[in-house]
Amino acid sequence: MARLHIIEDWWTAPSEDNEGRTVLVTGRRALDNVIATRRYSYRIEMTWIYEPDTGGMPDYQTSRKMEQVTDMLQETLRRDPVAVMTGIYTGAGERNWVFYAVTLKAFQSMLNQALSGIEEQLPLTFHAEEDPEWEEYREMCQCEIAREE
């Protein structure tokens, strides 16, 4: 079976939460081939609550740790794409990573493997639900600012 090609093409745009606070939305483009497999039907949101600065963003040290987590997850998923990271929301005191996974058990195993090198306990919470039509992803894509050609 051919390996699924998942493109590393990301965009970032400002948005607002329900209370009008700025949230930076980073989304992944060109996932039609992944959606078409119909294999990735579980949406998982991983949340890190942090003490925000006056603009709602994490401090430098927290931001660096979050980027380390992102990089570790991406590297593990490149080797074994049991899930696809589709979006990252940062602002208003929280960062949310959004994934679509083949199974919840496979995602949990990947997560444990990816973050095994981090010794401290991270303040992560999780929410998972079935989203076979990728509704959250399609809604997030509406935040993308059109590129000028």
**Residue 38 belongs to what H/E stretch?**
none
Instruction: Classify residue 148: in a domain, yes or no.
Output: no
- Please provide residue 137's backbone torsions phi and psi, each rounded to the nearest 5 degrees: -60, -45
Q: Is residue 95 part of a domain?
A: yes
How many independent structural domains does the chain possess?
1
Give the model confidence (pLDDT) of 59-104 as tens digits: 999 999 999 999 999 999 999 999 999 999 999 999 999 999 999 9
- With cut-offs at 50, 70 and 90, classify the pLDDT of residue 4: confident
Give CA–CA dist 43/15, Å, rounded: 21
Whole-angstrom distance, CA of residue 45 vs CA of residue 99: 6
Residue 1 — very low, low, confident or very high, per pLDDT cuts 50/70/90? very low
List the Cα angle 66/113/76 in 5-degree steps. Answer: 70
Q: Within a domain: residue 1?
A: no
Backbone dihedral angles phi then psi of residue 12, each to the nearest 5 degrees = -135, 135
In a domain, 115, yes or no: yes
Q: Does residue 3 belong to any structural domain of this protein?
A: no
pTM for this prediction: 0.93
Instruction: Provide the residue range defining the domain that includes 46.
Output: 10-141
Q: Average pLDDT of the chain? A: 94
**Res. 35: pLDDT tops 80:** yes
Per the domain annotation, does 147 fall within a domain? no
Instruction: Specify the CATH number for the domain of residue 112.
Output: 3.30.70
Assign 105 to helix, strand or coil.
helix
Residue type, 141: C
Q: Tell me whether residue 70 is in a domain.
A: yes
Residue 146 is predicted with a pLDDT of: 63
- Specify if 48 maps to a domain: yes
